[in-house]
Amino acid sequence: MIPVAEPSLGDEELENVIEAVKSGWISSKGKFIPEFEENFAKYCNCKYGVATSNGTTALHLALTALGISKGDEVIVPDLTFIATANAVTYCNAKPIFVDSHPEYWGIDPEKIEEKITKNTKAIIPVHLYGHPCNMDPIMDIAEDYELYVIEDVAEAHGAEYKGKKVGSFGDISCFSFYGNKIITTGEGGMCITNNKELAEKMRVLRDHGMNPNKKFWHDVIGFNYRMTNMQAAVGLAQLQKLDEFIEKRRQIAKWYEDGLEEFAKEGKITLHPEMSWAKCVYWMYSILINRDKFGITRDELMKKLEENGIETRPFFYPIHVMPPYKNNEGFPVAEEVARKGINLPSGVGLTK
Ligand SMILES: *Cc1c(COP(=O)(O)O)cnc(C)c1O
């Protein structure tokens, strides 16, 4: 079976982990954590990194540090992994969903303004399946309405918008290092920011709200959202391969494009987009199946591929259709893209 995704781990990760274990620093102190934080933040052209236990806790930590709380509303795309919305809910705030852009499937900036109310505090653009959001109009809206921007970069490490790395636009940007992400630490995440005060606040909140200068004194209610030194050891080795991984992912995308070109020309499928302003990192090489011309449905195609040893995944469901967030407003683009979309095998171990 050719898997949809698999981690690429080598001797470098192993050597670092052995060093962490032999040193005895296996919990959330040890040299690999600050090294990973500093180097990863720097890679994204940001000043500060705060490593976390996973991408979901990174989002919750960022929202909490920005003071998002009861009664607040946060704009999120309707088409994303559920954790984006859940992190807002954990703050007792309300996620407000916005439809997808038809060309690149991420949040449509033209549909954001109509959802803003006096309670709106922040926007979370999600760089879906490795493709950046259209950041200029999003940042303009945020400035006009004095909203925070928290980028959800869980699927797009190293992607670029107009030549600038995603994750460097928002007040805080959140990453995941889950096993199938662009780089992995097993489980893990990170918040990055250029704001020193926010970084310090997140460090305190990550560690039970403990005062860094007064042991066991807690000024606020925090969490245990720390990353371990063993995870950071893996992350540091992965980070050194990130550019290589991105090049391989772009190579795989090219193979798919060349191979599927005819189907796309005939309108049977829609290929994974890359807008003129974007450098996509193809977390999941994705296509839309246009049933009328293709002849069979998306689900029938997935079944046939499985019979032939090729694993695929359907797109995320639009969040508004699921029980915790059920909502009858129309999100026609997200609904259509979700119904037609599949992720094809995209791991960097793939051969032509
Ligand atoms: C994977 C993912 C997350 C959550 O990351 P975890 O590390 O699994 O908690 C959040 N947002 C998006 C868009 C993701 O793809």
Domain co-membership, 234 together with 317: no
CATH number of the domain at 70, please. Answer: 3.40.640.10
Domain co-membership, 227 together with 278: no
352 within some domain: no
State in Å: Cα 199 to ligand 1 middle.
20
Domain co-membership, 177 together with 257: no
* Residue 125 CB–ligand 1 contact under 6 Å: no
State in Å: Cα 262 to ligand 1 middle.
34
23 within some domain: yes
User: Ligand 1: which residue has its CA nearest to atom 14?
Assistant: 154
Domain co-membership, 95 together with 15: yes
User: DSSP string spanning 239-253?
Assistant: HTTHHHHHHHHHHHH
* Residue 106 CB–ligand 1 contact under 6 Å: no
How confident is the model at residue 79, as a pLDDT?
Answer: 98
Ligand 1: which of 4, 54, 56, 157 to mutate, most ligand atoms within 8 Å of CB?
A: 56
Domain count, the chain: 2
Give the whole-angstrom CA distance, residue 76 versus residue 320: 11
User: DSSP string spanning 332-344?
Assistant: HHHHHHHHHEEEP
Instruction: Choose the final residue of a domain: 182, 210, 241.
Output: 241
How confident is the model at residue 63, as a pLDDT?
Answer: 98
| The total number of residues written for the chain in this structure | 352
Instruction: Choose the final residue of a domain: 241, 258, 283.
Output: 241
Domain co-membership, 151 together with 118: yes
121-173 pLDDT, tens digit each: 999 999 999 999 999 999 999 999 999 999 999 999 999 999 999 999 999 99
Ligand 1: which of 61, 176, 343 to mutate, most ligand atoms within 8 Å of CB?
A: 176
When computed from its CA atoms, the radius of gyration of the chain, rounded to whole angstroms, is 20
Range of the domain at 272: 243-344
2 within some domain: no
Domain co-membership, 81 together with 129: yes
Domain co-membership, 47 together with 155: yes
185 within some domain: yes
How confident is the model at residue 20, as a pLDDT?
Answer: 98
State in Å: Cα 139 to ligand 1 middle.
22
- The HSE-up count of residue 69 (CA atoms within 13 Å, CB side) is 4
Instruction: Choose the final residue of a domain: 241, 271, 295.
Output: 241
How confident is the model at residue 307, as a pLDDT?
Answer: 98
* Phi, psi (degrees; rounded to nearest 5) at 345: -50, 130
How confident is the model at residue 335, as a pLDDT?
Answer: 98
Domain co-membership, 111 together with 256: no
Domain co-membership, 94 together with 115: yes
* Residue 231 CB–ligand 1 contact under 6 Å: no
State in Å: Cα 22 to ligand 1 middle.
31
1 within some domain: no
236 within some domain: yes
State in Å: Cα 293 to ligand 1 middle.
34
User: Ligand 1: which residue has its CA nearest to atom 2?
Assistant: 154
- Ligand 1 atom with the smallest distance to the CA of 181 is 1
Lookup: tokens for 213: 């200068």
State in Å: Cα 63 to ligand 1 middle.
15
State in Å: Cα 316 to ligand 1 middle.
12
Domain co-membership, 80 together with 188: yes
330 within some domain: yes
State in Å: Cα 292 to ligand 1 middle.
33
Lookup: tokens for 186: 């097993």
How confident is the model at residue 309, as a pLDDT?
Answer: 98
pLDDT lower than 50: segments of the chain: none
Domain co-membership, 113 together with 199: yes
Domain co-membership, 314 together with 175: no
**Strand segments (E) across the chain:** 48-52, 73-77, 94-98, 120-123, 148-152, 160-161, 164-165, 172-176, 189-193, 269-270, 278-279, 286-289, 313-314, 341-343
State in Å: Cα 253 to ligand 1 middle.
22
Q: What letter represents residue 147's amino acid?
A: L
The enclosing H or E element of 13 equals helix 11-23
Question: In DSSP terms, which residues pair with 120 in a beta bridge?
Answer: 73
CATH number of the domain at 250, please. Answer: 3.90.1150.10
351 within some domain: no
Ligand 1: which of 52, 81, 286 to mutate, most ligand atoms within 8 Å of CB?
A: 81
Ligand 1: which of 178, 185, 225 to mutate, most ligand atoms within 8 Å of CB?
A: 178
- Ligand 1 atom with the smallest distance to the CA of 176 is 7
